[in-house]
Chain A
Amino acid sequence: MKIILQKIEIQSRKGKELIDLTPQVERVVEESGVKEGLVNVLTMHTSSGIIVTEGLPCLEMDVLNHLDKLAPDQGNYYHNRYLEIDGRLGFNAGAHLRSIIGGIQVSFPIEGGHIVRGSRQRIYFAEYDGPLARTCCIQILGQ
Chain B
Amino acid sequence: MIDFHTHPVLVREMVEKYRELQGVIREVFFIGNLLQPLETFHLQMDVAGIEKAVLLPIDCSTAKGCQIFSNEQIAELCQMSERFIGFASVDPHKPDALQGLERAVRELGLRGLKLSPPTQEFYPNDSQLAYPLYEKASELAIPILFHAGMSWEPQAKAKYGQPLHLEDVASDFPNLKIVIAHFAWPWVVEAAMLALKYPNVYIDTSCLYFDNPADFLAYVLKEQIPISLIERSLRHKIVFGSNYPRVEIKNMAEAIRRLGLTKGCLELIFRDNALRLLGEVSV
Could you tell me which A residues sit within 8 Å of B by CB distance? 11-15, 74, 77, 80-82, 85-89, 91, 130-133
- Provide the bound-state CA to CA distance between A131 and B247, in Å: 13
Contact of B32 among A80, A85, A89, A91 (CB under 8 A): A85
User: How far apart are A9's CB and chain B's nearest CB, in angstroms?
Assistant: 9
Minimum C-beta distance from B183 to chain A (A): 15
Number of A-B residue pairs having CB atoms within 8 Å of each other in the complex? 61
B61 at interface, CB cutoff 8 A: no
Is B223 close to A, CB under 8 A? no
> Given that A11-B40, A87-B29, A133-B40 are known contacts, is A82 also in contact with B152, CB under 8 Å in the complex?
yes
Interface string of B185-229 (1 = CB under 8 A from A): 000000000000000000000001111111100000000000000
A6 to chain B, nearest CB (A): 19
Contact pick for A131, options B29, B31, B47, B213, CB 8 Å? B47
B246 touches which one: A88, A131, A132, A133 (CB < 8 A)?
A88
Query: Once the chains are docked, how many angstroms separate the CA of A86 from the CA of B247?
Result: 11
Contact of A133 among B37, B213, B245 (CB under 8 A): B37
Q: Are B215 and A80 in contact (CB under 8 A)?
A: yes
> Contact between A87 and B30 (Cβ–Cβ < 8 Å)?
yes
Is B44's CB within 8 Å of the partner chain A?
yes
**CB-defined A-B contacts under 8 Å, sample of 21:** A11-B37, A13-B43, A14-B47, A15-B250, A80-B215, A81-B211, A82-B152, A82-B209, A86-B32, A87-B32, A88-B245, A88-B246, A88-B247, A91-B211, A91-B213, A91-B251, A130-B47, A131-B40, A131-B46, A132-B36, A133-B37
In the bound complex, CA of A131 to CA of B215 (Å): 22
User: In the complex, A130→B48 CA distance in Å?
Assistant: 11
CB distance from A82 to the nearest CB of B (A): 6
Chain B's closest residue to A129 (CB) is B248
Contact assessment for A87 and B152 in the assembled complex, using a CB-CB cutoff below 8 Å = yes
Q: Which of B212, B215, B250 gathers most chain A CB within 10 Å? A: B212
CA distance A86 to B248 in the complex (A): 13
B107 interface residue (CB < 8 Å to A): no
Give bound CA distance, A86 to B32, whole Å.
Answer: 5
Complex-state Cα separation, A126 to B100, whole angstroms: 47
Question: Are B246's CB and A89's CB within 8 A?
Answer: yes
Please give, as numbers and ranges, the residues of chain A lying within 8 Å of B247 by CB-CB distance: 88-89
Complex Cα–Cα for A1 and B213 (A): 51
B34 in contact (CB, < 8 A): yes
Is the CB–CB distance between B212 and A131 below 8 Å?
no
Residue pair A80, B209 in contact (C-beta under 8 Å): no
Chain B residues positioned under 8 Å from A77 (CB to CB): 212
Q: Does B39 contact A (CB under 8 A)?
A: yes
The distance in angstroms between the C-alpha atoms of A122 and B239, with both chains bound, is 45
Q: Is the CB of B37 within 8 A of A91?
A: no
With CB as the reference atom, state the residue of chain B lying closest to A81.
Answer: B210
Q: Are A80 and B211 in contact (CB under 8 A)?
A: yes
Contacts of A82 on B, CB cut-off 8 Å? 152, 209-210
The closest CB in chain B to the CB of A74 belongs to B214
**Contact A88 B32, beta carbon cutoff 8 Å:** yes
Contacts of B31 in A (CB 8 A): 86-88
Instruction: Determine if A89 and B208 form an interchain contact, defined as CB atoms under 8 angstroms apart.
Output: yes
Contact with A along B91-119 (1 / 0, CB 8 A): 00000000000000000000000000000
Residue of B nearest to A85 (CB): B32
For B9, the closest partner residue in chain A by CB is: A87
Closest A-B pairs by Cβ, 4 of them: A91-B212, A87-B31, A131-B43, A86-B32
Q: Which of B59-78 contact A (CB under 8 A)?
A: none
A133 and B36 form a contact (CB under 8 A) = yes
Given the interface contacts A14-B47, A86-B31, A87-B30, does A80 sit within 8 Å of B210 by beta carbon?
Answer: yes
Please report the C-alpha to C-alpha distance between residue A62 and residue B247 in the assembled complex, in whole angstroms: 28
Tell me which residues across on chain A come within 8 A of B47, comparing CB atoms. Answer: 14-15, 130-131
Interface residues of B in 237-251 (CB under 8 A from A): 245-247, 250-251
- What is the CB-to-nearest-CB distance from B20 to chain A, in angstroms, rounded to a whole number? 18
